[in-house]
Structure formats: structure tokens, C-alpha cells
Copies of this chain bind each other. A is one copy, B any other.
Amino acid sequence: MMRLAEMSADELQQMLRHVRAEYDAIRARKLKLNIARGRPGEEQLDLSNELLSLPKPDDWITEAGDDARNYGGDPKGLVELRRIFAPILDVPVEQVVVGGNSSLAIMHDVIVWALLKGVTAIATPWMKQGRIAFLSPVPGYELHHNMCIEYGIDLIPVPVTPKGPDMKVVEHHVRDPRVKGMWCVPTYANPTGEIWSDEVIDRLAAMEAAATDFRLFWDDAYVVHHLADNSKPAKRILPACAAAGNADRPLMFWSTSKITFATAGIGFFAASPANVRWFLDCAKRRGAGQDKLNQLRHARFLKDAGGVTRHMKRHRAILAPKFSAVLQAFERRLAGKGAAVWTRPEGGYFISVDTIAGAAQRAVRLAGDAGISLTAAGSTFPNGHDPKDSNIRIAPSFASLEDVRIAAEAIAISILLAAVEKQLGINDND
């Protein structure tokens, strides 16, 4: 197999004709498939339908003796639910706080409170410290980026390696006191899929940050979302930071959005005892507490940490073949051609593709014209701008397995066609 970069103009022209013919054949099928968002598929949602009839009649009194249908109870949320996730996240139960239906909403509120109030009772509000910045591994998660952009927080991109963020870059930037936070998706990163190495995590825990109010925003969204045997999540950040004398550095977030029902699940927060006190003190102004009935519903359904593990195996059985289908199509169509490289994640929700420079937007447009909706090229970069125009995020969870097979073929051909065009210097608008 010859790589595109090594082909003569004639060979490329011949390949262009061939790949265009294949592309036209796919476009003629008038497909309409969505591979754009990390949404659970219908079969996955069906795994949690028992939630619809929980809690059972007369089962609304919590372990603490509160009526889950009424106001009141522990502001940290139901202990029977916190106890399920504490061992999974390796956090003491008393340091786990149950939030609303979204971990992103909790991250948002933490940023807002840090801006308006400061990250401790005595800290200066971020708003009163001039322009501040967050570090963000790129490619990364657009909703993390957008939250910073919304509130005028600068984003400093950090390159991603197969072991996590480039720590030399991180350690350099945190010497600047205006750097107040860093986005982290340590287990099956969005979209690059890697698990951050123990060394990366130990360095994040121990590095010297100029800002005493610097925080790691630790979004453990995929902590139990394995796709392979013997997988385990990234090293736990709370003990690592505590051991390094920086116990208050990490703020952890996760949710059941991709365990049970998306938007009808439960978000969580965990941190040091001091950070938990700060969080609860801020949160009490936001209303009369979270949805205890949905907490009880989830506690009854998931039962214990083992219940979560068993449930996630059922998700894996549905998801793993979809990821394989994409990887097989890419292997068959793209291997050895030098048109793109891609990740082979062992968990999470995404496959990340890097095309040759300058071909990603064109490839996404070609796929779109063939009826395959993909995440907009560049969306994994701050402000949607990928300087190399190279990264494409593939989300194979939502479509059916058969549709994923068809879509993966179409995407691979779109990528190949865009790469051949680029190699030939053919204008995108042709």
C-alpha cells in the first residue's frame, strides 16, 4: 500500500477518480445518519427502564428518615446514593455531594461562585483579579471551552500526548498567577480517549502553582465507561493531591448521564473537606435542595458499586461492537495511506481522527453531503478553531450498529477523498 505523500500526480489522479466513484455511490444512497454527539443509543437507555417505576409505592423514606417527596434532608444528598459512588471514585462518602441532573451544571456553578465569591471563604473573587485563564488540553470538550469563553476566562491550549496533557507546558503556565484552573478529563479523555498516566497525575498534584486559588476541574465523566477487559480508570486525584500537600487543588465532577438516563440522571461533586464546606455554603443560596426522589430512584436501581459495574458491562456489550465497526472500516479504508491517524480508545464515547493538515473541514462537509452528520470540524478546539484543520470527533454510540457500519464506511471514504484532494491541491470548494 502506497502512502498518498509518496504518490505521483498521475497516481493521485487515478486514486481521485476511484475514490470519487465510491463516494458518489454512497451519496446516491441518500443516507441520513447522526454520528455527531456523544448520546447513548436507545438500546442503552432501555437498560435503565426499571427506573421508570422506582421508587415503588410507599418507598419514599430515605435511610436518614426523610420523605424524599418533600423539602429537607442532608444538603449533601442521600447517603445511600453517595455510598454507591464513593468507592468507585475512591472518595470518602462524606466528601461526595449529590447535585442536580448534570455535572456540567455543577461545573458552571463552581465557576460562577469562584468568579463572584472566590474559591474559599477568604479568597478574592476571580472577578476582582483582572483577566484570568484556564489551561485546556486540546483537542478537548467544547462545552468546557464555551463556559470559559462565556465568562471572559482566557483559554490556554495544552497539547495532548497518549499519556495525557504535555506536563512541561502545564508546569510552565501554572507559574503564572492568572492561571486559575485546568480542565481535565483523565479517564478516556474527550475526544482523544487516552487515560492519563500516573506520572501525569502525580505531576499535576505536586506542581507548583503560582495562584493559591488554582483548581483542577476534574471531569471524570467516563470513569466507569470501559470498552475492554481489565480496564481501570486514571489514578485517583484526591489522594494524589493530598499526598503532595495540595488537598484543596482538585474539584471532581461526574454523573450518571451515560450510566442511566441523560438529563434525567444525577450529577455529583467531590473534593477535600474544606472544598465541600465551601461548595455547600455557596449551594444553599441556590434553592431548597436537589431532587431527592430521583436520588432514591437511582439508589434503588443501582444498589451498590457492584451494581454499577454490572450495569456498565451491559453498556459495553452494546457499545464495543459500534466502536469496532468504526475501527474496522478505518483500518480497511485508510490504513497505510497516510491520510489520517485515529485513536483506538478502550473506553469513553469518542474516536478522535487527525486527517492530514487542512482536510478535516472538507471531510466533514463531504460526509455531510453524503447524509452523515458529524461534529463540526474544529469544535474540539477553543472558539471552534483547529489551527491545523485536522481533528474530527466520531461519536458512534447513538446510531444502530448497522447504521454505524454504513456511516463509518462513508466517513472513511470522505476522509480519504478530502486527503487526496488536499494532496492534489484541489480547492475545497470544487
Contacts and interface: CB of A to CB of B under 8 A. Distances in A.
Interface string A94-132: 000000111111001100100111000000000100000
A65 interface: no
A212 interface: no
Interface string A47-63: 01100111111001000
The number of chain A residues touching the other chain, given as a range, is: 35 or more
A286 interface: yes
Given A116-B112, A150-B285, A290-B263, A70 B57 contact: no
B104 A37 contact: no
A375 interface: no
A88 B40 CA distance: 36
Contact of A69 (B117, B146, B264): B264
Nearest to A260: B69
A286 B116 contact: no
Contacts of A68: 264
Interface of A: 37, 39-40, 42, 45, 48-49, 52-57, 60, 67-72, 100-105, 108-109, 112, 115-117, 127, 143, 146-147, 150-151, 257, 261-264, 285-294
By Cβ-Cβ distance, the 6 closest A-B pairs, closest first, are A102-B287, A264-B293, A104-B287, A105-B287, A69-B261, A45-B69
Given A71-B263, A115-B116, A262-B288, 12 more contacts: A37-B71, A39-B70, A45-B67, A52-B54, A69-B261, A70-B262, A100-B101, A104-B286, A108-B287, A116-B116, A116-B127, A147-B285
